[in-house]
Amino acid sequence: MSALHIKKGSTKHSAYNLRPNFSDVQERHTITVLVENEPGVLARVIGLFAGRGYNIDSLTVAEVDHTGHLSRITVVTTGTPQVIEQIKAQLGRIVPVHEVTDLTVAGPFVERELAIVKVVGEDDKRVEAMRLADIFRAKVVDTTLNSFIFEITGTPDKIDAFADLMRPLGLTKIARTGVAALLRGE
Amino acid sequence: MTREMTGAKMIVQALKDQGVDTVFGYPGGAVLPIYDEIFLQNDIRHILVRHEQGAVHAAEGYARSTGKPGVVLVTSGPGATNAVTGLTDALLDSIPLVVLTGQVPTFMIGSDAFQEADTVGITRPCTKHNWLVKDTEKLAATIHEGFHVATSGRPGPVLIDVPKDVQFATGEYQPPKPTASHYQPLVKGDMEEITELVAAIEKAERPVFYTGGGVINSGPAASQLLRELVEATGFPITSTLMGLGAYPASGKNWLGMLGMHGLYEANMAMHDCDLMINIGARFDDRITGRIDAFSPNSTKAHIDIDPSSINKVIRVDIPIVGDVAHVLEDILKVWKSRGRKTNAEALANWQGQISEWRAISCLSYTGSETTIKPQYALQRLEALTKDRNRYITTEVGQHQMWAAQYLNFEDPNRWMTSGGLGTMGYGVPASIGAQVAHPDALVINVAGEASWLMNMQEMGTATQYRLPVKQFILNNERLGMVRQWQELLHGERYSHSWSEALPDFVKLAEAFGAKGIICKDPADLDDAIMEMLDYDGPVIFDCLVEKHENCFPMIPSGKAHNEMLLGEAETQGVIQSGGAVLV
Ligand SMILES: Cc1cc2nc3c(=O)[nH]c(=O)nc-3n(C[C@H](O)[C@H](O)[C@H](O)COP(=O)(O)OP(=O)(O)OC[C@H]3O[C@@H](n4cnc5c(N)ncnc54)[C@H](O)[C@@H]3O)c2cc1C
Ligand SMILES: Cc1ncc(C[n+]2csc(CCOP(=O)(O)OP(=O)(O)O)c2C)c(N)n1
């Protein structure tokens, strides 16, 4: 499937890339949206997904350009190619949206998520948790005599794997930031 | 002139600088400072409606009949929530509106203050964009941006919510700046795609133009260019409900409206064509019928300014993102430069096929000497008004479809109807908005009695401003369109589809200070219509028509274009349960 890298209003690539090549396969796409940081802009994006029945697997947002008042929203979504194309086109219509980039198409890209994980346990389990954390390069950011909080960054898959391993060792709580992502190269 | 002024004054100044001559509105506590400023000037005319929904539909009628944005001013809370239906209507039909709402003072927002509503929250999904302005310094620039957004790209309604303290505070007025906005949708189409379309035009054996509201949105030049292209290529052309008038109904290539209640020849041409050229239409479900059976053997081109319209419903082969007028200009240029070629021989065969379909006369109906058939009423209305400077609005239902079928539109911006949302109650206020914009024209609202009652309070507006709108009510004492579906889909169980207590429309007219006319005999119809036309003032015309007439042709939900029903005899058991799920 081809990219619909909608630089606001531009159809430079889009006319060709609007050419359909649609299948029913569900695809996972990481899309970044550069938006004017005005009140309610996140509600617009979320409202679009809710109102039109699109999936949000993960969503992060933060101001990235303080002078230009621009924020970057990174949203991970799944859908058929046709739905993904619609999502991008619909995002592009939102007035304060400056740019929509489908990293999955434009790639390769780097994707990272941060999680903090609380693991409660004693004796062997505690030792094993530490050992595994080391392998995953998770840091201990808080500890008591019978608990740790680990901080881990990586792809969502890596964090899933870490959480799966920690579960039998006493994982009680996990907080994840959602994905931040950027294209590689210039 | 000092640029320092109150927010309220800024609003009026900004409207003037945007060339606004008319505002439709209704006052209340949260907009009183603005009403004060309106009182102190004479450049902008304020039309006091009777309900905020009426203000928005009136602004839509004004906008659609002029090509300019419509402007609305209402108060906070109930004023704003009453505007929601109109906003949604304008969003679905791509009508440019700027709606100003009052809000409780900034320091009270969030406290459940008197007449507080989260207006930007409520209207976020039913506006193209909206703003809450918390700082008077930003007010003027926001209003200018509002006009820019409402009218650029795919038009739509915007809303600007202004707290009362922002109206009282002073700030520096910013005049409009043309380049201030980052929002600049592209209007030029991609030349490679355009060339590919031209190549397809040269080869096409069974082409059809499928045009829509986007041609009207694009402005009069688009209609002119469309006419030129159609005449030059000789290709047949059909239009959606929203695009009627872009190509003249008297034009020799006109097929009539397409879609669920469109003409047989138009739908058959869509189904059998080998090249479909969609110009500013959005493959609405009233058009496509069953998607997998929609025009199965055609190459499809789609010209639309909104990338999200392309491939939303139907996959197309030649997508062209751009403004209709700009793209048509380029198509003509390229086509002429390549020698104005078409496949004449194949086209002649295609025309022959179309003539055969046309010969079915799908709009024929069984006449009557004793009762007025609604189709007949519209044929007579057409005959008696076609040479006048005429604007038509409608309500929603069977009468709307009959109006689209039996009235002929020669020019764009003459036909105002609620297509996407299908809002009963649209027509009365829309006729008022159109009449305000064209005081000397003949403005007729073709209505069903049920829809008409939904915003009939606006007759008060018509009398107050001496607006001679003609309310032509096809009174079947039924929610006709609902009744038709119940007949065809729900075993003739007419659950709540008629009104047991209708008002006496003649007395009602008199109560409003208008003229009332009732007509039930086909023999009296012409005289009665002439009486309506000759009366210099608003008229309510109660035309008592056949109660159980069905609107044909009809493509039942879930069926393909070539499975149309043409008349009563064909309706037995045709709609299966799969179709009944659809609306
Ligand atoms: C009871 C009922 C029955 C109906 N039956 C029918 C029927 O039988 N047939 C029928 O046709 N309709 C029917 N409708 C109307 C139908 O629901 C839709 O409103 C209508 O078909 C949509 O028209 P459109 O495709 O022209 O799109 P519009 O809603 O007019 O949209 C315009 C399109 O053009 C694009 N556009 C806007 N401006 C520009 C520009 N400057 N340049 C390029 N593109 C632009 C927009 O992005 C959009 O995609 C019915 C409605 C009701 C209430
Ligand atoms: C506000 C609103 N409510 C309900 C409907 C559903 N509806 C569509 S047509 C119709 C009946 C309209 O009756 P009338 O205005 O008398 O017109 P007719 O179909 O009889 O010509 C109804 C109830 C609607 N379109 N809009």
CATH number at residue A165: 3.30.70.1150
Answer whether residue A129 is part of any domain: yes
Tell which one of B210, B284, B421, B481 to mutate to probe ligand 1, the residue whose CB is within 8 A of the most ligand atoms.
B284
Question: Residue B260, exposed/middle/buried by CB under 10 A (0-12, 13-18, 19+)?
Answer: buried
Confidence of residue B499 (pLDDT cuts 50, 70, 90): confident
Query: What stretches of B273-315 show up as alpha helix (H) in DSSP?
Result: 285-288
Confidence of residue A10 (pLDDT cuts 50, 70, 90): very low
Answer whether residue B471 is part of any domain: yes
Percent of chain B whose pLDDT exceeds 70: 97
**pLDDT at position B489, please?**
87
pLDDT of A132 over the 90 cut: yes
Both A60 and A116 in one domain: the answer is: no
Find the mean pLDDT for residues B558-581. Answer: 70
Answer whether residue A81 is part of any domain: yes
Measure B184 CA to nearest chain A CA, in Å. Answer: 6
Both A56 and A99 in one domain: the answer is: yes
Answer whether residue A126 is part of any domain: yes
Among the candidates B325, B358, B391, a domain finishes at B358
Measure B142 CA to nearest chain A CA, in Å. Answer: 12
Among the candidates B292, B327, B358, a domain finishes at B358
Tens-place pLDDT, residues B65-99:
999 999 999 999 999 999 999 999 999 999 999 99
Confidence of residue B272 (pLDDT cuts 50, 70, 90): very high
**pLDDT at position A18, please?**
47
Distance CA B42, CA B37 (A): 10
Our count of domains for chain A comes to: 2
- Interchain contact, B307 vs A86, CB within 8 Å: no
Q: Which two tokens stand for residue B338?
A: 């390549």
pLDDT of A11 over the 70 cut: no
**pLDDT at position B576, please?**
54
Confidence of residue A42 (pLDDT cuts 50, 70, 90): very high
Answer whether residue B436 is part of any domain: yes
Both B114 and B64 in one domain: the answer is: yes
Answer whether residue A67 is part of any domain: yes
Peptide bond into B553 cis (omega under 30): yes
Both B199 and B321 in one domain: the answer is: yes
Our count of domains for chain B comes to: 3
**pLDDT at position B577, please?**
53
Distances (CA, A) of B522 to A81, B91, B374, B505: 57, 40, 10, 19
- Interchain contact, B121 vs A39, CB within 8 Å: no
Both A136 and A113 in one domain: the answer is: yes
Tens-place pLDDT, residues B348-379:
999 999 999 999 999 999 999 999 999 999 99
Q: Are strands A58-65 and A70-79 parallel, antiparallel or unpaired?
A: antiparallel
Which domain, by its residues, includes A116? Answer: 109-183
Distance CA B265, CA B355 (A): 8
**pLDDT at position B580, please?**
60
Both B145 and B53 in one domain: the answer is: yes
Both A136 and A64 in one domain: the answer is: no
Both B266 and B396 in one domain: the answer is: no
Answer whether residue A171 is part of any domain: yes
Both A96 and A33 in one domain: the answer is: yes
Both A127 and A168 in one domain: the answer is: yes
Answer whether residue B185 is part of any domain: no
Tens-place pLDDT, residues B86-144:
999 999 999 999 999 999 999 999 999 999 999 999 999 999 999 999 999 999 999 99
Confidence of residue A7 (pLDDT cuts 50, 70, 90): very low
Both A89 and A148 in one domain: the answer is: no
Confidence of residue B505 (pLDDT cuts 50, 70, 90): very high
Both B45 and B73 in one domain: the answer is: yes
Both B247 and B198 in one domain: the answer is: yes
**Chain A interface residues (partner B, CB cutoff 8 A):** 4, 6, 8-11, 14-16, 18-20, 22, 36, 39-40, 43-44, 47, 51, 82, 85-86, 89-90, 92-96, 98
Least confident range from B97-101, B310-314, B537-541, B579-583: namely B579-583
What CATH number should be reported for the domain holding residue B470?
3.40.50.970
pLDDT of B171 over the 60 cut: yes
Answer whether residue A13 is part of any domain: no
Both B139 and B236 in one domain: the answer is: no
Least confident range from B2-6, B117-121, B251-255: namely B2-6
Answer whether residue B365 is part of any domain: no
Going by C-alpha positions, the residue among B232, B156, B192 that lies closest to residue B319 is B192
Both A126 and A142 in one domain: the answer is: yes
pLDDT of B278 over the 80 cut: yes
Both A34 and A102 in one domain: the answer is: yes
Whether B102 lines ligand 1, by a CB cut-off of 6 Å, is: no
Sole residue written with tokens 């030059």: B232
ipTM strictly over 0.95?
no
Both B340 and B408 in one domain: the answer is: no
**pLDDT at position A23, please?**
75
Which domain, by its residues, includes B59? Answer: 3-173
Crossing angle for the helix pair B7-17 and B136-151, to the nearest 10 degrees: 30
Find the mean pLDDT for residues B232-243. Answer: 98
Answer whether residue B552 is part of any domain: no
Least confident range from B59-68, B80-89, B486-495: namely B486-495
Tens-place pLDDT, residues B449-482:
999 999 999 999 999 999 999 999 999 999 999 9
pLDDT of B241 over the 50 cut: yes
**pLDDT at position B319, please?**
97
Both B438 and B499 in one domain: the answer is: yes
Crossing angle for the helix pair B324-337 and B191-203, to the nearest 10 degrees: 60
Answer whether residue B142 is part of any domain: yes
Distance CA B92, CA B70 (A): 15
Confidence of residue B579 (pLDDT cuts 50, 70, 90): low
Among the candidates B140, B173, B206, a domain finishes at B173
Query: What stretches of B68-156 show up as alpha helix (H) in DSSP?
Result: 78-82, 84-92, 119-123, 136-151
| Whether the Cβ atoms of residue B191 and residue B330 lie closer than 8 Å to each other | yes
Both B352 and B389 in one domain: the answer is: no
Find the mean pLDDT for residues B510-518. Answer: 98
Both B196 and B318 in one domain: the answer is: yes
What CATH number should be reported for the domain holding residue A91?
3.30.70.260
**pLDDT at position B411, please?**
98
pLDDT of B582 over the 80 cut: no
pLDDT of B201 over the 80 cut: yes
Both B47 and B117 in one domain: the answer is: yes
Both A44 and A97 in one domain: the answer is: yes
